[in-house]
């Protein structure tokens, strides 16, 4: 639901993507891979957190008798974008997010692929995870990975299921190998926060990991995993220490450095948004 001002009134409009994805994965510092048409990433219904693409911004078009607001940025003759910040959304010129709009337009033009066995395993894993049945989630995510070895998204969910089951060493091992296959400047790093039906469950699991990492501070696997979890929930400052420690370990150095680079990219993006808001 998007709110915006219309003269002295505040109104809203519902915006539905062409194919509505549930919030399962956050792309940290990147974009969703446009080539992915797997049915397992479509039709999950609404989840009240965040869309992986850009947040649509209404622009004001001034006319002779009245002004109106539109989400169309392609036919923008005599368009003027102005007005105050509304619900944290800053009016911007029509070129803002042009690259993202182009990517989403390309994606909306194509339908998802046919259901595969990997899709079914993924769906079973998601359902199991939501009811805290992590053993089944691990099994099903693993089967989906085996059938779709080129998919760079599923392994993040598999690692998360291992983490939720407190199999920290195994989760860190999967995370390391998965980070070696992504291009952070392009797709980013994925975090499956939306697998949880309740954020409190996730936060409790992270707190448990943090206690273990403090008790065994020499364990670089725990530090890498903790840094990734903190980065995923937006605790950037807290993620730095564990990731820096993990980067000193030969086995975890590449993965930790990748996450630190993503962290700095997010910081830079946040700084840009804050400066615009000011």
Is pLDDT larger for residue 58 or for residue 19?
A: 58
- Is the Cα dihedral 21, 24, 29, 34 positive or negative? negative
Provide the percentage of residues in the chain whose pLDDT is more than 90.
Answer: 47
Is pLDDT larger for residue 162 or for residue 105?
A: 162
- Residue 16 makes CB contacts below 8 A (sequence gap 6+) with none
Q: Which domains does the chain have, with CATH numbers?
A: 117-276 (1.25.40)
Strand partners, 28: 189
Q: What is the pTM of this model?
A: 0.72
**Mean pLDDT for the chain overall:** 78
Whether residue 67 has pLDDT greater than 90: no
User: Looking at residue 177, what is its pLDDT?
Assistant: 95
Is the separation of the CB atoms in 29 and 50 below 8 Å?
Answer: no
Tokens standing for residue 193? 């926060």
- Is the Cα dihedral 46, 110, 14, 52 positive or negative? positive
């Amino acid at each position: 639901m998007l709110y915006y001002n219309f003269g002295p009134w505040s109104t809203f409009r519902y915006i539905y993507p062409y194919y509505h994805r549930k919030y399962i994965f956050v792309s940290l510092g990147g974009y969703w891979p446009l080539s992915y048409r797997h049915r397992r990433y479509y039709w999950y219904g609404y989840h009240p957190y965040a869309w992986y693409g850009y947040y649509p911004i209404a622009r004001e078009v001034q006319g002779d008798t009245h002004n109106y607001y539109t989400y169309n940025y392609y036919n923008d003759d005599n368009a003027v974008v102005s007005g105050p910040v509304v619900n944290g959304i800053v009016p911007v010129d029509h070129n803002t997010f042009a690259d993202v709009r182009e990517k989403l337009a390309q994606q909306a033009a194509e339908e998802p692929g046919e259901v595969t066995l990997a899709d079914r395993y993924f769906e079973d894993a998601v359902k199991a995870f939501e009811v805290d049945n992590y053993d089944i989630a691990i099994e099903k995510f693993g089967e989906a990975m085996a059938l779709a070895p080129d998919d760079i998204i599923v392994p993040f969910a598999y690692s998360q299921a291992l983490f939720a089951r407190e199999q920290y060493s195994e989760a860190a091992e999967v995370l390391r190998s998965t980070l070696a296959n992504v291009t952070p400047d392009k797709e980013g790093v994925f975090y499956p926060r939306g697998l949880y039906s309740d954020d409190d469950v996730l936060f409790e699991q992270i707190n448990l990991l943090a206690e273990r990492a403090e008790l065994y501070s020499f364990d670089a696997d725990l530090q890498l995993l903790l840094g990734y979890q903190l980065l995923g929930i937006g605790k950037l400052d807290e993620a730095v220490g564990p990731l820096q420690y993990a980067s000193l370990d030969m086995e975890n150095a590449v993965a930790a450095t990748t996450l630190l680079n993503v962290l700095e990219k997010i910081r830079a993006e946040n700084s840009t948004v804050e400066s615009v808001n000011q």
